[in-house]
Amino acid sequence: MPTAAAAAAASNALLRCGLHFISWRRPLLLPASAKTKTPSSLSIGRGGALLLRGGVALAPSFCTASPDAASAATSDAVEEAAAGNSSNGSAGAAIDVKEVANTLDLRVGRILKAWRHEEADTLYVEEVDVGEADPRIICSGLVKYVPLDLLQGRNVVVLANLKARNMRGVKSSGMLMAASDASHENVELLVPPEGSLPGERIWFGSESDKETLPPVATPNQVQKKKIWEMVQPHLKTDESRNAILLGQHLMRTSVGAVTSPSLKNANIS
């Protein structure tokens, strides 16, 4: 049996050669909910094991749930859509703009009454039926573009899940959707198809997409996730004056497409 001095000398020799020993320890088992980052020096081996460059196995990863598993909860649906995750996609994929857009609470509205804002020359105040117990009060900057008498009794498209804003002393709970040309000299309210009813949901896509729409986001989620800011740049009218998303997905109700009265290839906001 080697003496203690001989063992120490052997250990020192190994250290001088750049080698050392570490006693074995039980690997740490992380809970399924733990979020870990993989450094650039690591790769993933078979069975989810983390590998250091050179093939040395480190602690295995213990995942029990897919990152894009479907959830019925509104918050989870919005989180996944905004992150680009869907039930048939993979985590980290590009943002699904159509999925995100369909978390906007777009509805058919009917203007019951409209008047000039007493404190703001550029604003109208409208009382709008959006299928709720009471009409909503909405302010819109349309004075320069739409005569007041043409607003009365008109069907419109309402974005209903924006946070309410104080507009010169009037609490505005929504936004009327309109098309405008590049110079913003011509502005027209979008028109739901004939036969659409107040409160009816509006979505992007085909008629059959109505059966698989995600839950609408809350106003807090729309603001926090900047959902409207994410979607708006992709909204236009086409050559047929249809309102479309990403150049292909119609904005529609159950009876047809939403349109602009005359503006082609126009921005929508």
Convert the pLDDT of each residue in 126-176 to its tens digit: 999 999 999 999 999 999 999 999 999 999 999 999 999 999 999 999 999
The predicted-structure confidence for 224-241, as pLDDT tens digits, reads as follows 999 999 999 999 999 999
101 inside domain: yes
**Residue 48 falls within a domain, yes or no?**
no
In a domain, 17, yes or no: no
Residue 113 lies in a domain: yes
- Please check whether residue 19 lies inside any domain of the structure: no
Has residue 39 been placed in a domain? no
> pLDDT per residue over 3-39, tens digit each?
555 555 544 444 444 444 334 444 444 444 444 333 3
Structural domain boundaries enclosing 134: 96-268
How many structural domains comprise the chain?
Answer: 1
208 burial type by CB count under 10 A (0-12 exposed, 13-18 middle, 19+ buried): exposed
CATH classification of the domain holding 246: 2.40.50.140
For residue 128, what are the CA distances in angstroms to 84, 105, 121, 200? 34, 15, 20, 13
pLDDT value of position 30: 41
* Residue 184 belongs to some domain of the structure: yes
For the cut 60, the answer to whether the pLDDT of residue 2 exceeds it is no
C-alpha to C-alpha distance for 138 and 269, rounded to whole angstroms: 15
Q: What is the pTM of this model?
A: 0.68
Select the more confidently predicted residue: 77 or 196. Answer: 196
The answer to the question of residue 90 being in a domain is no
- State whether the Cα torsion 203-204-207-209 is positive or negative: negative
pLDDT given at position 82: 55
Backbone angles phi, psi at 210, to 5 degrees: -60, -30
